[in-house]
Amino acid sequence: MQFSELGLSEKVLRAVEASGYTTPTPIQAQAIPFALTGRDVLGIAQTGTGKTAAFVLPMLSRLEQGRARARVPRTLILEPTRELAAQVEEAFNKYGLQHKLNVALLIGGVSFGDQETKIMRGADVLIATPGRLLDFFERGKLLLTGIEILVIDEADRMLDMGFIPDIEKICKLVPFTRQTLFFSATMPPEITRLTEQFLHNPVRVEVARAATTATTIVQGLVASHGGGDKRETLRRLLREAEDLKNAIVFCNRKRDVAIVHKSLVKHGFPAGCLHGDMDQPARMASLDAFKNGDIDILVCSDVAARGLDIPDVSHVFNFDAPSHPEDYVHRIGRTGRAGRSGVSITLITTDDLKHLHQIQDLIKKEIDWLGPKLDDLPPPEHTERDRARATRTRDRRGGRVERSERPERSRRERVVSDEPPRPERAPRERVAAEEARPPREKPAREAREPRPPREQRAPRRREREDDGPAVVGFGDHLPGFLMRPVRAKAKRAE
């Protein structure tokens, strides 16, 4: 099959040729002819299969007729993340060089002003994330009544991100007669319901089973202990990996993205990070640095990295096994793209095991262990951080005992620390604690209230107490105040 057989316009064919593509990918070969005739398309395809061009190329052909009006875009593409939206914009720039179309991007984290100017000029193509689009619409800055083609991309990711109510709202705002091109890597029931509601007699194009992983990717598992040991395992793998050109490291939580990134940088790895809490310029800067090769390692969360087209990623490391098994397919799909080979390694701790079983059930395949399995791992080593902390503790205490070796001492350490004395502590111990307190507290107290020398000070109550056997009542002791009434009475009488 050749691109010229798909029915694309001359201009589009020239752009395809200029980008160096010789044959259409399966999703392109199957979807483009239908998309060109105006049929709705339901494309079930993973990223990396060429699905962006499968909707961009027919859109370009169809947009050659007609013109956009101010505030009334002609086509709308919905993307779950800002990065994906920016990536689709790049595809329009690449394939639409000769079309001189107005392409507007409506994504969060960017000022409204510039985006509004583009909409006012009349957008042939509007690429948006759902939230920002509705924001614009609700402010009356945009009309959706002129939409001829609606593309919903990465629908299952939209579901994960809670965008389905927004998508339903948007589908009701665009004309009933528009063409809809709908893409999803998986088809959970909520997505099927959405397609039944909003697609009209779609042609279903499925290029690979949703849960299949590319055969060009070598997959492996590496057992590790958790915490700092896991980061050490990752560093070892990064150092030892063969033919590592660049790598994406996935973590399940944003917090861990930050920790792993910081740790890699600290150990001298040229790494950047990408997660949803970063502002847009920072996200774009990380992504560009990775694409340009300024950094070799990008530590990511799933949301930030889903669907990103970075053509030449040699390795993917799953720092955590993903808790949604479909994410495994997406993550490792960052490598081995467009027929290239790639390596994917997943770190497995005991906490990751249950996710691993779900992943293997989904992909219907056992992933090989590289090195010992979890049960055969030697006992956890001290992590570098633990060692450093222990050294610091030893130094502080004149090289006595490693704190990590004596966890039961932690309370005793508090006795000689800055903490206030504990009520149950014996008096002598408390005095010791007072004396052992670091000198920095003393000047502060002295500044507040100058005290007489110790020998002139009245003894404190606890210091007067006897440590001897318990006594009943006053015992043999006659309290001092009972000795004083005569003088006290005499004073009062005066």
**Which 304-333 residues touch ligand AMP, going by CB under 6 A?**
309, 311
Find out whether 149 and 62 touch, Cβ atoms under 8 Å: yes
Complex with ligand AMP: residue 214 or 249, whichever CB lies closer: 214
Complex with ligand AMP: residue 244 or 310, whichever CB lies closer: 310
Q: Interface mask (CB under 6 A) for ligand AMP, residues 152-191, using x and -?
A: ----------------------------------------
Distance CA 370, CA 221 (A): 6
Complex with ligand AMP: residue 55 or 136, whichever CB lies closer: 55
Mode of pairing for the β-strands spanning 315-318 and 247-250: parallel
Complex with ligand AMP: residue 230 or 337, whichever CB lies closer: 337
Structure tokens at 244: 């590592």
Binder of ligand AMP out of 338, 390, 415, 431 (CB under 6 A): 338
Complex with ligand AMP: residue 251 or 308, whichever CB lies closer: 308
Structure tokens at 99: 């079309």
**Which 8-37 residues touch ligand AMP, going by CB under 6 A?**
21, 24-25, 28
C-beta of 37: minimal distance to ligand AMP in Å?
A: 20
Complex with ligand AMP: residue 57 or 359, whichever CB lies closer: 57
* Position closest to ligand AMP via CB: 52
Distance CA 50, CA 38 (A): 20
Looking at 2-50, list the stretches that DSSP marks H as alpha helix, in order from N- to C-terminal side.
10-18, 26-37
Which H or E run includes 157? Answer: helix 155-160
Interface with ligand AMP includes 47 (CB under 6 A)? Answer: yes
Interface with ligand AMP includes 336 (CB under 6 A)? Answer: no
Complex with ligand AMP: residue 52 or 246, whichever CB lies closer: 52
Angle at 395 between CA 394 and CA 397, to 5 degrees: 65
Tell me the chain's radius of gyration from C-alpha atoms: 34
HEC assignment per residue over 84-142: HHHHHHHHHHHHCCCCCCCEEEECCCCCHHHHHHHHHHCCCEEEECHHHHHHHHHCCCC
Distance CA 278, CA 306 (A): 16
C-beta of 23: minimal distance to ligand AMP in Å?
A: 6
Interface with ligand AMP includes 228 (CB under 6 A)? Answer: no
Interface with ligand AMP includes 272 (CB under 6 A)? Answer: no
Distance CA 354, CA 95 (A): 44
C-beta of 178: minimal distance to ligand AMP in Å?
A: 22
CB under 6 A: which stretch of 48-56, 146-154, 404-412, 433-441 binds ligand AMP?
48-56
Angle between helices 228-240 and 384-396 (to 10 degrees): 130
Interface with ligand AMP includes 337 (CB under 6 A)? Answer: yes
C-beta of 411: minimal distance to ligand AMP in Å?
A: 57
C-beta of 343: minimal distance to ligand AMP in Å?
A: 18
Mode of pairing for the β-strands spanning 125-128 and 103-106: parallel
Which string of DSSP letters, residue by residue, matches 179-198? EEEEEESS--HHHHHHHHHH
Complex with ligand AMP: residue 50 or 80, whichever CB lies closer: 50
Which string of DSSP letters, residue by residue, matches 46-88? -TTSSHHHHHHHHHHHHHTSS--BTTB-SEEEE-SSHHHHHHH
Binder of ligand AMP out of 52, 180, 195, 246 (CB under 6 A): 52
* Strand ranges for 243-382 from DSSP E: 247-250, 271-274, 297-300, 315-318, 342-348, 368-369
CB under 6 A: which stretch of 31-39, 44-52, 359-367, 436-444 binds ligand AMP?
44-52
Complex with ligand AMP: residue 225 or 331, whichever CB lies closer: 331
Complex with ligand AMP: residue 25 or 184, whichever CB lies closer: 25
Find out whether 249 and 295 touch, Cβ atoms under 8 Å: no
Binder of ligand AMP out of 9, 49, 213, 318 (CB under 6 A): 49
Binding footprint of ligand AMP on the chain (CB under 6 A) = 21, 24-25, 28, 47-53, 309, 311, 337-338
